[in-house]
Amino acid sequence: MRIGIVCYPTFGGSGVVATELGMALADKGHVVHFITYDRPVRLRDHPNVFYHEVRVSDYPLFDYQPYELVLTSKLVDVAKFEGLDLMHVHYAIPHASAAWMAQRILASQGIFVPFITTLHGTDITLVGRDPSFEPVITYSMDRSNAVTAVSESLKRDTYKHFPLKHADQGGPGIHVIPNFVCIEQYRQRPDPAVRLRYAPNGELLLSHVSNFRPVKRVEDVVRMFQLLRKQLPVRLLLIGDGPDRQRIENLCRQMGTCDAIQFLGKMTRPEEIVASTDLFVLPSESESFGLAALEAMASGVPVVSSDTGGLPEVNIHGVSGLLNPVGDVDGMANNAYDILATAESRERYRNGALEQARRFDLQLVLPQYEALYRQVVEEING
């Protein structure tokens, strides 16, 4: 098939999922066209992959650049001249409405191209619920040829927050297709050089990866770490960057924990570091899935996380890690201690994390997307 993928090209989870999906589809012989404003960070060169940049002109009249319109025109152009069989847009805002508009323009020229919207999380749980977006999001989800959500929790949230038509009312329904990892390619082994660099005295290593937005509650990572270090020799690696980073750095200075915490900033391959750590911490306020946790688990790193949103679907309590209510910093420190205190417990959770990650292997998830692609293409072609 010839597939157009629209996503955010940055470090966010939705862009990572879209890019890895496109690369995997290309490996299976599909031709994939990425359409976005910058080259996706995880995009690799591949004979079946093409990248189309959406360039918005800098006309002085525009205080706000009309990105969605330019994206729509680009979608029409690529669909028409590359003969796309379908468009798959990741993150509803503004991609779903751009795809809907492109579909209408193409239809007016006798070209019928279905589009699938994949919901990732904040497009539904935070931003999309804003009244300034809601009617457009609801309409474009209803008009999608298929809608997917990355967890059962996100599917429930979508129906709770948006007056969407259910499948039996003529709406597209919501298919849950979870996020994935390619276990074979992804699995990283602990690197003795990394351990020596960040834990020179044989300390246990904790890690956290995020975009440092308030929703990630990075402060809770630091506070649980402060409690844990009273009981165990530990160090913490904070990977990523974002609005909360400076505040968290200041907090570490005030708490006097700088000697044991290292801020590594944005990294293109955080998994190479995370794989050498003993525990991954994700205390988010809301999390539709928690791809960062799954990626840690795929390298055999157990997870202490909050029990919000889709996290209990990914991190199984007592198997791949442990869960606590949002904000329960004491509970997270206790759970981290339980996992890390003995070599036997570390090994048990390590195996549990790997076993659970295998349930989200690309080989199991990719066929679900391909089946949905075939279904929408067959439906639109009658």
* Contact residues for ligand GMT, defined by CB under 6 A: 12-15, 17, 91, 120-122, 125, 150, 179, 211, 215, 286-291
Got the DSSP string for 292-350?
A: HHHHHHHTT--EEEE--TTHHHHS-BTTTEEEE-TT-HHHHHHHHHHHHSSHHHHHHHH
- In the bound state with ligand GMT, the residue whose beta carbon lies nearer, of 104 and 160, is 160
3-state class (DSSP) for residue 253: helix
Distance in Å, CB of 302 to ligand GMT, minimum:
18
> 């959500």: which residue's tokens?
149
233 sits in the region (left: phi over 0; alpha: psi -120 to 50; else beta) called beta
Distance in Å, CB of 95 to ligand GMT, minimum:
11
Contact 277, 237 (CB under 8 A): yes
- In the bound state with ligand GMT, the residue whose beta carbon lies nearer, of 190 and 327, is 327
Q: What element of type H or E holds 140? A: helix 134-143
- In the bound state with ligand GMT, the residue whose beta carbon lies nearer, of 79 and 311, is 311
Helix axes 13-27 and 362-380, enclosed angle (nearest 10): 80
Distance in Å, CB of 246 to ligand GMT, minimum:
19
Phi, psi of 257, rounded to the nearest 5 degrees: -105, 5
Q: How far apart are CA 236 and CA 264, in angstroms?
A: 10
Distance in Å, CB of 286 to ligand GMT, minimum:
5
Distance in Å, CB of 253 to ligand GMT, minimum:
26
Distance in Å, CB of 6 to ligand GMT, minimum:
13
- In the bound state with ligand GMT, the residue whose beta carbon lies nearer, of 179 and 320, is 179
Q: What element of type H or E holds 351? A: helix 343-358
- In the bound state with ligand GMT, the residue whose beta carbon lies nearer, of 203 and 241, is 241
Extract the tokens encoding 18. Answer: 């879209």
Q: Is 133 exposed, middle or buried (0-12, 13-18, 19+ CB in 10 A)?
A: middle
Q: How far is CA 249 from the centre of its chain?
A: 25
- In the bound state with ligand GMT, the residue whose beta carbon lies nearer, of 198 and 289, is 289
- In the bound state with ligand GMT, the residue whose beta carbon lies nearer, of 288 and 306, is 288
- In the bound state with ligand GMT, the residue whose beta carbon lies nearer, of 145 and 305, is 305
Distance in Å, CB of 11 to ligand GMT, minimum:
8
Distance in Å, CB of 291 to ligand GMT, minimum:
3
321: Cβ contacts below 8 Å, ≥ 6 apart: 279, 280, 293, 297, 302, 303, 304, 305, 315, 335, 339, 349, 352, 353
Tell me the residue type at 51: Y
